[in-house]
């Protein structure tokens, strides 16, 4: 058992890191605007494709590809907010309508991607080559980078939303839009900021994932569902609960894969989720509203 346990924990840590990056973006938009962005997975895919084009087709190198991928996702995120979310602010069913419009956005982006880039599989080069060893378990440097980068990004996000002026405006708007507007916060600009930031996180996840998995137009679909399971478990309200749930789910998933195999893991995870929700309708860490 010893020989397998450590690599399993490390792969759980890797999954948890990716889920945390994805889910924190979802949680950020939710807690600021009360919108759940179903295009989050598609934004991730877009980031990976743009990074691939810049790195491989234009030959400009991984670093520039990285920046371009994250930037493209952020721009697309702001566009989604302007075109598909902003017109519905005043609507009584804004939450439901934006679920539908962001679903439409995800179709538009996904189909657009397969029209532009075609169906051939693509893969990004790794940011760093080579292998490192974590507690005796061999891991590729790229995966180790993800494991280190995710907590750093989350910490940065935590610092940003807690300590900086514009970050705190996100939380102010999330808590009370009218009061935030009264003290001089530009509410619509803050919404765009939240969407852009969240989309940048999606793009970052896509670029990181694009060198581990093959890039297809459906790259973002599975991670989105897993991120959804994370936010159901952790609740959508706070960054800390979301990140915590991401690592818990990642570790549980890795252990389930070890014990039950890849095939049964999603089903068992989902049944577990249903059981949790029957007894705790606000999620495992969620507070009763």
> Which positions lie near another protein, rule CB under 8 A?
30, 36, 38, 84, 87-88, 91, 95-97, 99-101, 103-108, 110-112, 114-115, 221, 225, 228-229, 231-232, 236, 262-264, 266-267, 270, 273-274, 277-278, 281-283, 289
Query: Judged by CB, which is closer to another protein: 99, or 137?
Result: 99
Whose Cβ is closer to another protein: residue 135's or residue 259's?
A: 259
Could you tell me the smallest distance in angstroms from the CB atom of residue 74 to another protein?
A: 21
Q: Which helix (H) or strand (E) holds 133?
A: strand 131-134
CA angle 226, 97, 240 (to 5 degrees): 40
* Least spacing, CB of residue 215 vs another protein, in Å: 17
In the complex, what is the shortest distance from the CB of residue 10 to another protein, in angstroms, rounded to a whole number? Answer: 24
Residue 143 CB contacts under 8 Å (≥ 6 apart), including other chains: 14, 212
Could you say which DSSP state residue 281 is in? T
Q: Do the Cβ atoms of 194 and 11 come closer than 8 Å?
A: no
What is the rounded distance in angstroms from the CA atom of residue 59 to the CA atom of residue 65?
Answer: 9
For residues 198 and 211, which CB has a smaller minimum distance to another protein in the complex?
A: 198
State which residue, 48 or 124, has the beta carbon closest to another protein: 48
**Cβ closest to another protein, residue 2 vs residue 289:** 289
Strand partners, 122: 215
CB neighbours of residue 50 within 10 Å: 25
As measured in angstroms, the least distance from the Cβ of 26 to another protein is: 10
């Amino acid at each position: 058992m010893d020989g397998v346990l450590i690599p399993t924990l490390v792969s759980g840590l890797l999954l948890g890191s990716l889920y945390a990056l994805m889910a924190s973006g979802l949680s950020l938009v939710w807690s600021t605007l009360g919108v759940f962005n179903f295009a989050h997975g598609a934004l991730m895919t877009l980031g990976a494709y743009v990074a691939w084009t810049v790195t491989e087709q234009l030959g400009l190198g991984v670093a520039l590809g990285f920046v371009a991928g994250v930037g493209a996702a952020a721009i697309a995120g702001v566009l989604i907010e302007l075109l598909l979310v902003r017109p519905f602010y005043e609507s009584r069913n804004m939450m439901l309508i934006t679920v539908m419009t962001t679903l439409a956005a995800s179709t538009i982006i996904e189909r657009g991607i397969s029209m532009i880039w075609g169906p051939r599989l693509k893969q990004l080069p790794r940011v760093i080559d080579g292998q490192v060893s974590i507690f005796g378990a061999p891991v590729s440097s790229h995966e180790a980078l993800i494991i280190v980068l995710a907590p750093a990004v989350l910490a940065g996000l935590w610092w940003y939303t807690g300590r900086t002026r514009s970050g705190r405006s996100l939380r102010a708007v999330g808590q009370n839009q009218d009061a935030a507007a009264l003290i001089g916060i530009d509410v619509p600009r803050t919404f765009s900021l939240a969407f852009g930031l969240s989309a940048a996180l999606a793009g970052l996840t896509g670029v990181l994932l694009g060198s581990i998995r093959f890039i297809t137009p459906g790259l973002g679909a599975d991670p989105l569902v897993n991120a959804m399971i994370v936010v159901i478990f952790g609740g959508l309200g706070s960054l800390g609960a979301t990140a915590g749930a991401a690592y818990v789910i990642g570790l549980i998933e890795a252990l389930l894969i070890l014990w039950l195999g890849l095939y049964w893991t999603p089903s068992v995870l989902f049944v577990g989720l249903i059981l949790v929700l029957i007894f705790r309708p606000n999620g495992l860490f969620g507070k009763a509203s």
